[in-house]
Amino acid sequence: MDNRQWMGRDLAHLWHPCTQMKDHENLPVIPIRRGEGAWLEDFEGRRYLDAISSWWVNLFGHANPRINAALHEQLEQLEHVLLAGFSHAPAIELAERLCAIAPPGLSRVFYADNGSSAVEVALKMSFHYWRNRGETGRTRFVTLANSYHGETLGALAVGNVELYRDTYGPLLMETLTVPSPDCFGVPPEEWAAHGEAALEPLEETLERHAGEVCAVIVEPLVQCAGYMRMYHPAYLKGLREACDRHRVHLIADEIAVGFGRTGTLFACEQAAITPDFLCLSKGLTGGYLPLSAVLTGEEVYDAFYDDYQRLTAFLHSHSYTGNPLACRAALATLELFATEPVLERNRGLAHRMAEATTPLKDHPHVAEVRQTGMILAIELARHGREAYPWQERRGLRVYRHGLERGVLLRPLGNVVYFMPPYVITPEEIELMVQVAAEGIDLATRD
Ligand SMILES: *Cc1c(COP(=O)(O)O)cnc(C)c1O
């Protein structure tokens, strides 16, 4: 069966995520038959370089031999068992490994099965912690402008990207929003000061709402879905101090930035902080299976630990919590980090991405090229200053051009970005950047 036939069958029944389905009247759905390394291949043998790690999940390539082997082995043993009252080796080993590599002080692991659910868990746990401690007046969450934490209703409520949120506004709990430390347009040498300045309104909010706030939730260093806006670790450092001073939790949502994307294994390391809750998903399984984890410390754990009759337990659950296959894929992924110089190799690749994109800084319609580790973003603007109206869908033109040239780019509005799997080669980086540059030329021609 060829692409067209698969596409026809697809459009007869599938409703795709994050998609206006009418777009597919003249935009193809690309059916993928197989993947290998950084490449995807369709049913007619056309190949696409996966420059965005299939929505930021893939770390070590598609059909990675070592992860495949681990999964085959696990499949012969156990596919799934409930995690209430029962347990299994992959869940236990993974919890041990996560606690060993996470920032110090995180010693308890609660599993869920996707990123949004992890955020829900962290929000509920924080609220419930205060309640168990007798502070029932704490019901609010502080969130940053332009943040994204997923799309279930609780996660959407603490998010701030209008495109995803506004429609559902009437359904969402009210949050306290503070300015983002986003450094768009700020020269690199001023990033730290810019971040520190953004702490002032945060402090004010925490002061004004003393005793009402459960937690501040933040995406460390890069607001990925928020157009890849970036900021300095100095903000995180100050934020940790502010949370301590005002006695509120800090939830670090490292669902997108965890596992090496920012240059360190976890972004929080760059500020040398430990959050009260660390949310992980996406790269956790190397991009193989849905799984998420919320890490926290003994202080939080203890607040729930009591006789059953006191009803302080955290009763949250999902059917596939801690699925053995997913945990095994995660263990194989962590094994790759442990046995190969991944972060060091990535420094070389990140440098290649920086070099290859240097000429784009002088493009007449590029406002900024910014980078944090293995995430590089190019923000388009007319004459480098005037934001293109979203209705013009300039990024979509880049996407189309990428497909024609065999590179999967999926710009966020006017922001073209790269977040490739770590198995990408320097030559593939050249190709990826060249095709993006052509696409940017085409997309900004008028
Ligand atoms: C993707 C993402 C989520 C949501 O994860 P899902 O698995 O898509 O529900 C939450 N937070 C951040 C920062 C993300 O990038």
So where are the chain's domains? Answer: 31-63+341-443, 69-339
238-262 per-position pLDDT tens digit: 999 999 999 999 999 999 999 999 9
What's the gap in Å between 445 CA and the centre of ligand 1? 34
11-56 per-position pLDDT tens digit: 999 999 999 999 999 999 999 999 999 999 999 999 999 999 999 9
Question: Is 90 exceeded by the pLDDT of residue 446?
Answer: no
CB 401 within 8 A of CB 443: yes
Q: Give the whole-number percent of the chain exceeding pLDDT 90.
A: 98
Q: Is 387 helix (H, G, I), strand (E, B) or coil?
A: coil
Query: Does the beta carbon of 253 lie inside 6 Å of ligand 1?
Result: yes
The pLDDT value recorded for residue 1 is 85
CA-CA distance, 137 to 139, in Å (whole number)?
A: 6
Q: Is 164 helix (H, G, I), strand (E, B) or coil?
A: helix
What's the gap in Å between 264 CA and the centre of ligand 1? 19
Question: Is 90 exceeded by the pLDDT of residue 174?
Answer: yes
CA-nearest residue for atom 12, ligand 1, is: 149
Q: What is the mean pLDDT of the chain?
A: 98
- Domain 31-63+341-443 homologous superfamily, CATH: Aspartate Aminotransferase, domain 1 (3.90.1150.10)
CA-CA distance, 91 to 74, in Å (whole number)?
A: 12
Query: Does the beta carbon of 287 lie inside 6 Å of ligand 1?
Result: no
Mean pLDDT of 179-192: 97
Mean pLDDT of 334-363: 98
Question: Is 90 exceeded by the pLDDT of residue 201?
Answer: yes
Which ligand 1 atom minimizes the distance to the CA of 224?
Answer: 15
364-415 per-position pLDDT tens digit: 999 999 999 999 999 999 999 999 999 999 999 999 999 999 999 999 999 9
Query: Does the beta carbon of 255 lie inside 6 Å of ligand 1?
Result: yes
CA-nearest residue for atom 8, ligand 1, is: 115
Q: Is the fold of 31-63+341-443 the same as that of 69-339?
A: no
The beta strand positions in 25-116, using DSSP E, are: 32-36, 39-42, 47-50, 108-112
DSSP-derived secondary structure letter, 37: B
Query: Does the beta carbon of 148 lie inside 6 Å of ligand 1?
Result: yes
109-133 per-position pLDDT tens digit: 999 999 999 999 999 999 999 999 9
Element (H, E) at 333: helix 324-339
Mean pLDDT of 138-164: 96
What's the gap in Å between 306 CA and the centre of ligand 1? 32
Which ligand 1 atom minimizes the distance to the CA of 254?
Answer: 13
Which CATH number among 3.30.300.30, 3.40.640.10, 3.40.50.920, 3.30.300.20 corresponds to the domain 69-339?
3.40.640.10
The pLDDT value recorded for residue 394 is 97
What's the gap in Å between 45 CA and the centre of ligand 1? 31
CA-nearest residue for atom 7, ligand 1, is: 115
CA-nearest residue for atom 5, ligand 1, is: 115
CA-CA distance, 342 to 101, in Å (whole number)?
A: 14
Mean pLDDT of 151-175: 95
Query: Does the beta carbon of 150 lie inside 6 Å of ligand 1?
Result: yes
Which ligand 1 atom minimizes the distance to the CA of 256?
Answer: 15
279-323 per-position pLDDT tens digit: 999 999 999 999 999 999 999 999 999 999 999 999 999 999 999
DSSP-derived secondary structure letter, 386: B
Query: Does the beta carbon of 224 lie inside 6 Å of ligand 1?
Result: yes
